[in-house]
Amino acid sequence: MENIKKPLLYNKGSIDTLGLTIAGNSANFAVYAPKAAQITLCLFTHPHSQPKMEIPLFGPDQGIWHIEVHDIPLNASYTYRMNGKELLSDPYARAFTSFYPWGDFSHKRTPFLCRIDPQPPFDWQGVIAPNIPLEELIIYEMHIRGFTKHHSSCVKSPGTFAGVIEKISYLKQLGINAVELMPIYEFDETHSPKVYSATKQPRINYWGYNPISFFIPVSRYASRQDEALDEFKTMVRELHRAGIEVFLDVVYNHTGDGDDFLISLRGFDKTHYFMIDENEHDRNYTGCGNTFQTNSSMGQKIIIDSLRYWVEEMHIDGFRFDLASILTRGVDGHPLQDPPILKAIANDAILKNVKLIAEPWDAAGLNQVGQFQKWGDWSEWNSSFRDHVRKFIKGTENEVGFFATSMTGSQFTYPTGSPQSGINFVTAHDGFCLRDLVTYQHKQNIDNGENNRDGSTQNDSWNCGDEGPTQNIEIHELRERQMRNFWLALLLSQGIPMILMGDEIGHTRKGNNNPYVQDNDINWFDWKIWEHNHSMVQFVSSLIHFRKRHPILRKKHFLKDDDIEWHGHLPNHPDWKVHSRFIAFTLKEKQALYVAFNTDFHHAEVFLPHLQENQHWKLIVNTNEPWDCHNLDTPEKGIRLESSIKMAPHSALIAKAY
């Protein structure tokens, strides 16, 4: 490696752009630290060695320390030294040169060295983003490591961006057209001081909601850590080539900054980047120990700069904001009527063209479901859909009206929006997966090491008569039927459906509804299950393609009388309740669709609507039948129905007019 020559020439440089800017043979460094007494630039020629040179920065000017240095070897690395003591990483760094194996706890208290060498231009090969309309989206929530880490994936580099590329054909076959990636910003999976109760080994933060950078993809998700940027871009390019958009699950509500100053923001300016109370303690609205100041001037700036970077440099199509209600809190934690960060996002020339999804609540009880539309063109995780669909499908009374409004786009939740205001989901990474939703009444989180205290106790689940795995054939068949019912509810509903990775193969997390520290088979996609449950995957895939073939299921506006006919009571008020576990409706298009759900514990005699002369109904789906006994791909081969049909308990059906 080339040594640093002494002396290097330098001057004051510029404060215009934070971070490192390379221009010719000059490197400009700028970092915001208004309260610092001194900051020096530390230059390294080998990771984890002592600095070869330290140069004092100029400033602060407007709170920014800065310097321009000439002829630095591009293979060198850098950090900053704060007040002659701590070494801090650059918050705006685009890559680290400090690497460690996944789950290696020995790197603790070792600074992350930042890369100087600029990345060469990436060849996008003329591939452009699919730019899929909102109403056409079918989202797949995915974990990069978990998707291919299991040995059954048989990819060359398990658990990596490259591994995902090898499985794109599966995603296309399934029919999804957008992946929502759980956190891929650099995070510290080894931050937890707790251990697993069974093994007494340190816990791994598998989910990654613990960011240590807003700009750098996780190097340990790459087949070669020093090429993570290229590998991530290649994955995005190939997903785009396949017609699949890429959304990032982003965490701007808190950071992985600790008191050891391993990371940077807290060390440079704790009071401006974090919500601090009058006793200089962290305000904790996130449940993670600290809360980021999203509406301070510099908090806004780093968020906007980060989002723009991922769009412009990485070609990302959209973002899902974790605990997005934090974005509406002021510097003192109180909710704001007109949050500056949301206004800045709405008015940004780059960001106003990407898809924005809010998780519209935080860990301190601020629930803003249905409110983000007043701050811009937002969609939201629709928790109302999740809750009411779960309750109705399991047979809860007084839910049929709420279920009806959920199926038709949740108009009472989004009165000034559209069906696309809601991201409909039955399951997500947080909570029971679909298999466990019909298998467990109670969470089984003891392996997380928190004595089963973590995770929600309110799951609206139903074990169908026995807790956990069973040898009872009737209970097994009922569970399979319930899963089919949930799939129909999700993929026949107005709005944007989201599927949890693994639900389509019937993956189980063994009742763990908060597996954020489970880096094992509980979370990993098991491709052997896919082979065993291929008929289940085919059912889901056929239902997705059925949705794509029927525009009536993807309306841009809430359904009107010309679109739908209810058979029974019309749900015209959010408090509409009847003591019923049955609902049916006809969707009016060229070939009408009849949909019915019987979530009662008894059979139901269903009388079909009259059709025009020379028309008849054909049964396409009856969830009382096994996974491979349906006609979604060839509906014309469905069973011809007469004037009525007897529906089994806890079943649903689709019929089509011919």
Q: Which residues are catalytic?
A: 322, 359
Report yes or no: 544 and 537 within 8 Å, Cβ to Cβ. Answer: no
Q: Which residues contact 591 (CB under 8 A, 6 or more apart)?
A: 656, 657, 658
Report yes or no: 240 and 130 within 8 Å, Cβ to Cβ. Answer: yes
Three-class DSSP category at 487: helix
Which of these, 344, 190, 309, 181, lies nearest to 260 by C-alpha position? 190
* CA–CA gap between residue 575 and residue 300 (Å, rounded): 40
As a three-state string, the secondary structure of 601-627 is CCCEEEECCCCCCCCCEEEEEECCCCC
Q: Could you give the residue ranges of the DSSP H alpha helices within 184-225? A: none
Three-class DSSP category at 195: strand
DSSP 650: T
Residue 236 structure tokens: 């995005």
Report yes or no: 434 and 500 within 8 Å, Cβ to Cβ. Answer: yes
Residue 100 structure tokens: 């460690």
**Which residues sit opposite 20 in a β-bridge?**
29
**Backbone phi, then psi, for 87, in 5-degree steps?**
-90, 130
Burial class (CB in 10 A: 0-12, 13-18, 19+), 231: buried
Question: Before 111, cis peptide (omega within 30)?
Answer: no
* CA–CA gap between residue 297 and residue 310 (Å, rounded): 20
Which of these, 80, 85, 50, lies nearest to 66 by C-alpha position? 80
Three-class DSSP category at 199: coil
Angle between helices 340-347 and 297-312 (to 10 degrees): 30
Place of tokens 């089963």: 452
Report yes or no: 96 and 186 within 8 Å, Cβ to Cβ. Answer: yes
Place of tokens 């038709």: 408
Which of these, 259, 267, 271, lies nearest to 85 by C-alpha position? 267
DSSP 72: -
Helix (H) or strand (E) holding 30: strand 26-32
* CA–CA gap between residue 392 and residue 323 (Å, rounded): 27
Residue 474 burial (CB count, 10 A)? 11
Report yes or no: 267 and 88 within 8 Å, Cβ to Cβ. Answer: yes
DSSP 497: E
* CA–CA gap between residue 66 and residue 52 (Å, rounded): 19
* CA–CA gap between residue 624 and residue 481 (Å, rounded): 6
Q: Could you give the residue ranges of the DSSP H alpha helices within 461-553? A: 473-491, 527-532, 534-549
* CA–CA gap between residue 599 and residue 650 (Å, rounded): 4
Write the DSSP string, 365-396.
S-B-TTTGGGGSSEEEEEHHHHHHHHHHHHT-
| Whole-angstrom Cα Rg for the chain | 27
Three-class DSSP category at 317: coil
Residue 649 structure tokens: 């308990």
